[in-house]
Amino acid sequence: MAVTAGMVKELRERTGAGMMDCKNVLVETDGNIEKAIELLREKGLAKAAKKAGRVASQGLVQLAFTEDGKKAAAIEVNSETDFVAKNEEFIDFVSTLAGMVLNGNAVNMDEFLALNYKEEGTIKDALNNKIAKIGENMSIRRFTKCDKPGVVYVGYVHGGGKIGVIVGLETETTLEQVSVLGKDLAMQVASMNPKYIDESYVDPVYIESELNIYMQQAKNEGKPEKIAEKMATGRMNKELKEICLLAQKFVKNGDITVEQYIDETVKELGKTIKVVEMIRYEVGEGIEKEEENFAEEVAKQMNN
């Protein structure tokens, strides 16, 4: 019996297995869906759907750059455990995906998952194949591509892929000339986690709201209007120094700010350098993690 696209689709929906695996077992079973399901189960390839509901909060962040630094990409792929995140096959998978973001034009996750992945069908198929083979739920959480004209990108990966940072520098210099500066700035972002490049990126409504809160706090402390206003301004400025990259103390030299460090490099090179982009991915940030003890986790893995 000829295997049709509809049969492959039905089998995928019922088992969660990859497209190519579904097609192969349908050919092997002469189009018999029920026998194909049994065969997939025997091969251990029908597990992806069962694992889809489990929380994947570990994983890897991977970066990719063109040789001239004019394009960059970041991706986060999650797994259930850190053990799988260190698996060579998983690492290779994430690295390949980062390269596909860099060299592709996908603008959203649906487009990205529909791209062809080697001989495994789509990226979504390949992901399901990895879930079935490795035995854990996985998800491609997010990705981004940076390619603004006139910008050079430098990055830093911390903790074996736990944090990945891309910094975009608008400059006429070459990648080689700003590579040290760029890496230092990326390390600063990884370490201090600034929310904005500088005050100009902060929403004025947020600043006004914070000032009002600080003002009220000072008044509650019994301070006169003018004193309360000065205190509110001082507290706001302190907060901005903590959340804005350029205002932060430089981690490698606490005597200067990040902005002063950049200015020193500008003087040395004789060319302007301006930070215009800042991407920071940290594995699992914002994902609600399941609370499990070690014994329960081992028992779960043994029962799979």
Q: Which domain holds residue 18?
A: 5-46
User: What is the edge-to-edge ordering of all strands in the sheet holding 163-171?
Assistant: 151-158, 163-171, 273-282
- Identify whether 224 is part of a domain: no
Q: How far apart are CA 211 and CA 237, in angstroms?
A: 10
My answer on whether 170 and 143 are in the same domain is yes
pLDDT tens per residue across span 155-211: 999 999 999 999 999 999 999 999 999 999 999 999 999 999 999 999 999 899 889
- Determine what percent of the chain is predicted with pLDDT higher than 90: 60
My answer on whether 79 and 13 are in the same domain is no
pLDDT tens per residue across span 52-79: 556 667 999 999 999 999 999 999 999 9
CB 228 within 8 A of CB 219: yes
What token pair was written down for 37?
């399901």
Predicted local distance difference test score (pLDDT) of residue 46: 60
My answer on whether 22 and 169 are in the same domain is no
Q: How far apart are CA 22 and CA 9, in angstroms?
A: 8
Q: Is the pLDDT of residue 99 over 70?
A: yes
Domain count, the chain: 2
My answer on whether 34 and 62 are in the same domain is no
Predicted local distance difference test score (pLDDT) of residue 269: 94
- Among 22-26, 51-55, 84-88, 213-217, name the one with the lowest average pLDDT: 51-55
Q: What average pLDDT is seen over the chain?
A: 88
- Identify whether 190 is part of a domain: yes
My answer on whether 30 and 138 are in the same domain is no
My answer on whether 178 and 42 are in the same domain is no
What is the full DSSP assignment across 196-216?
BSSGGGS-HHHHHHHHHHHHH
Which run of H or of E encompasses 276?
Answer: strand 273-282
Predicted local distance difference test score (pLDDT) of residue 47: 54
What token pair was written down for 259?
């902005």
My answer on whether 9 and 150 are in the same domain is no
Q: What is the CATH number of the domain that holds 294?
A: 3.30.479.20
Q: What is the CATH number of the domain that holds 32?
A: 1.10.8.10
My answer on whether 99 and 132 are in the same domain is yes
- Which is more confidently placed, 291 or 148? 148
- Identify whether 156 is part of a domain: yes
Q: Is the pLDDT of residue 241 over 70?
A: yes
- Identify whether 142 is part of a domain: yes
- Identify whether 226 is part of a domain: no
3-state DSSP call for residue 68? Answer: coil
- Among 83-87, 122-126, 280-284, 299-303, name the one with the lowest average pLDDT: 299-303
Answer left, alpha or beta for residue 118, where phi above 0 means left and psi between -120 and 50 means alpha.
Answer: left
Strand runs (DSSP E) across 84-162, as ranges? Answer: 138-146, 151-158
Rounded average pLDDT over 20-44: 83
My answer on whether 191 and 67 are in the same domain is yes
